[in-house]
Chains A and B, each alone.
Chain A
Amino acid sequence: MISRRDLLKNTAKAVAGISVPLAALEILTPARVQALKTDKAVRWAFLVDTYKCVGCGLCVKACKNENEIPYDANVTRTWVERYVLTKDGRFFADSPKGARDGFISSKIDLGKGNYQDIKQEEIKKAFFVPKLCNQCENPPCVQVCPVGATYQAPDGVVLVDRTWCIGCGYCIMACPYGVRFFHPVHHTAEKCNFCYHRITKGMKSACVQACPFGARQIGNIKDPNDPVAKTITTERVGILKSEYGTKPQVYYIGLDEEVR
């Protein structure tokens, strides 16, 4: 008969063996092997020319339709911000409904149903800044996901596994750019993924295609012949919130210090 000491010993051994975390073992799916074998010289990057943006909001509309984000829900994968600086040094900015319908009123949305009318002659400068996921090289959202439901693809795009996300919201808290939210239907973390289903098939992302002014462009930063890569590497471009060390991959032309 097994002694108590042996039982305890063997139990301890069994528990120790079982508790080798599954995470320590990497299971290679055929899709992953395929991805590793294929050309690794792809790194998606985005270029926004703020001089060209007029705040029409067609990009936001296109994104909502393409990615099935409920049209009237007050969340969006991409949005456009309006900045207005007055001659007496006041700062205003807004993005009503993420600029889904464009900026149809010159009044600034202050929230809580208040609006600020600014006279044309008071304005020092005013401009639009489109925003979307920065597909960071060092993404804090991926770092904090407790279950690994959000991850970075080999081409740099950060994706979310809707079947595995537990909806804790830690990634939403960790993103310094506010691009993440809970999908109103799936109740999982949701974000811009550069229209991954399109770009991996050689198409442009929906917002790029919808922009009538060419303010948005997407390209492969590792391809020296790519026009976007050329602009980013040879011209003066800026990034958002570099102080967080996230290494964002959305580059801006005409960035102002007031852009948040």
Chain B
Amino acid sequence: MVHGEFWTVRELFVTPNEYIYWSVQIVMYPFMTGLVAGAFVLSSLYHVFGIKQLKDIARFALVFSFALLPAAPLPIILHLQHPFRGINNLMTPHFTSAIAAFGIVFSTYGAIVASELWFLYRKHFVEQSLYLKKRPDKTLGEKLMYFIYTVLTLGAYDVSEKALHKDEKAIKILAAIGIPVACFLHGYAGFIFGSVKANALWMTPLMPVIFIMSAVVSGIALCMLTYIVTMEFRKYFACRKQSPTYSPECREEIKSVEINVIRMTAKYLLFFLIFAISLELLDLIFRGYTAVKSWDVLRSVIYGKDFAAIFILQYGIGNLIPFILFLLPGMTIRRAIIGVLLVMFGVFMMRWNVVIGGQAFSLTFAGYMHYHLPIIPHNMETLKEGLFGAMGVFVSPFILFYFLTKIFPVFGLKESH
């Protein structure tokens, strides 16, 4: 079977070679890079602009965006017909192609996040390394941690007031450089689609900007969600009767910190959400108003075949309902969880409607293609580019985050920048 044939159903006049070649992994790619960029922007809001209310979530967001990093190229590699040749993209980049810049943009960004993380945790590395060094009769695990921390210090053991001040400055500079790079990383994912002139739905200069805005929205939402989940765990462990930190007010204390951070972050989420929706609607109105040759088929897709996916799932459930949830007074944690889950779903649907929706009509403008996501895999192709492949990509950063927090603890550090 030809690639794409399995999940494509064709209707009316479609030329023989047209299938849905870019499937669910290409939906995951901008979704995951969006989360990376968004998480980083959130952490930078504190480091660069000094928004104090975000202090608690900033450190968390940075570690999380580091954990998300490998999840950006993963879907592309899973989508490639020759995954082992993916490295060619770095070895012989052909710079007229938007994809060729991926290696450079991505590694620049990765380097920035990694070095910012290093400056942020340098003191912790030194302390841990020195502490474990002194410790007699180290267990195997402690030996391993000692080795990791010693390597991570990179030989810089100076933790004087002056040196730490310099670190702080470095973090600020890196975060400031990081914002445009993060936006570029994601805006460039938008460019990959927006510059395809053969695709009537994709081709718009607004695409990179729309992608950045929705990226920030989804990134903030994911950080909020993970923050809530970890805080709930903390609350549970710190406030058990057996716990040494137990006090009757403990639960309330953590809860009030948590809800304050969430309230504050939700404001920024709404701010970016308004931008994203405005741009998307502008694009839609503009297409309808100018009504060029492709509009007939686009209209039949947007208002007909994909109506439920676009207007009900994306705009309704994914944008409007969380919008109301966040605006209503008296925010609660439970409502915030529902809100951020819906926001993330909305952004995912937006990616879906762009990537799959862009292939829902034929180049002839007289035929349609329907995508059926493979659920039960029966070969490598349907595993990689099916429900399980997509889920794997989505879950991977959480697993990585769990291991990263063993080395970069996100809570409970006495001093933090």
Contacts and interface: CB of A to CB of B under 8 A. Distances in A.
Interface of A: 4, 21-23, 73-76, 79, 81, 91-95, 97-98, 110-112, 131, 140, 142-149, 164-170, 172-182, 184, 187-188, 243-245, 260
Contact of B85 (A98, A142, A166): A166
A244 B363 contact: no
B172 interface: no
Contacts of B160: none
Interface stretch (B49-57, B194-202, B252-260, B402-410): B194-202
Interface in B78-136: 79-82, 85-86, 88-89, 91-100, 102
Nearest to B358: A173
B103 to A, nearest CB: 9
A95 B367 CA distance: 12
Contacts, number: 155
Contacts of B17: 75-76, 172, 178-181
Interface in B178-197: 192, 195-197
A173 B21 CA distance: 8
A114 to B, nearest CB: 8
Contacts of B89: 146-147, 166
B2 A184 contact: yes
B12 interface: yes
Nearest to B82: A167
B184 to A, nearest CB: 17
A164 B85 contact: yes
Given A75-B17, A81-B15, A112-B10, A187 B97 contact: no
Contact of B94 (A74, A140, A146): A146
26 contacts: A21-B93, A73-B1, A79-B15, A94-B13, A95-B16, A111-B12, A112-B10, A144-B96, A144-B195, A144-B196, A146-B97, A146-B102, A147-B85, A147-B100, A164-B92, A165-B81, A166-B88, A167-B85, A169-B22, A173-B196, A174-B196, A175-B198, A178-B18, A178-B362, A182-B2, A184-B3
Nearest to A190: B17
Given A166-B86, A174-B196, A260-B364, 16 more contacts: A73-B1, A75-B17, A76-B17, A79-B16, A94-B13, A97-B16, A112-B9, A131-B15, A142-B96, A144-B98, A147-B85, A168-B80, A169-B21, A173-B196, A174-B197, A177-B363
A112 B10 CA distance: 6
Contact of B99 (A93, A146, A167): A146
A148 B9 contact: no
B5 interface: yes
Contacts of B4: 182
B363 A178 contact: yes
A23 B198 contact: no
A99 to B, nearest CB: 8
A145 B99 CA distance: 8
A168 B23 CA distance: 11
Given A23-B92, A176-B198, A168 B99 contact: yes
B334 to A, nearest CB: 42
A92 B13 CA distance: 8
Interface in B36-68: none
Chain A CB within 10 Å — which of B10, B15, B79, B102 has the most? B15
B16 A75 contact: yes
A111 B363 contact: no
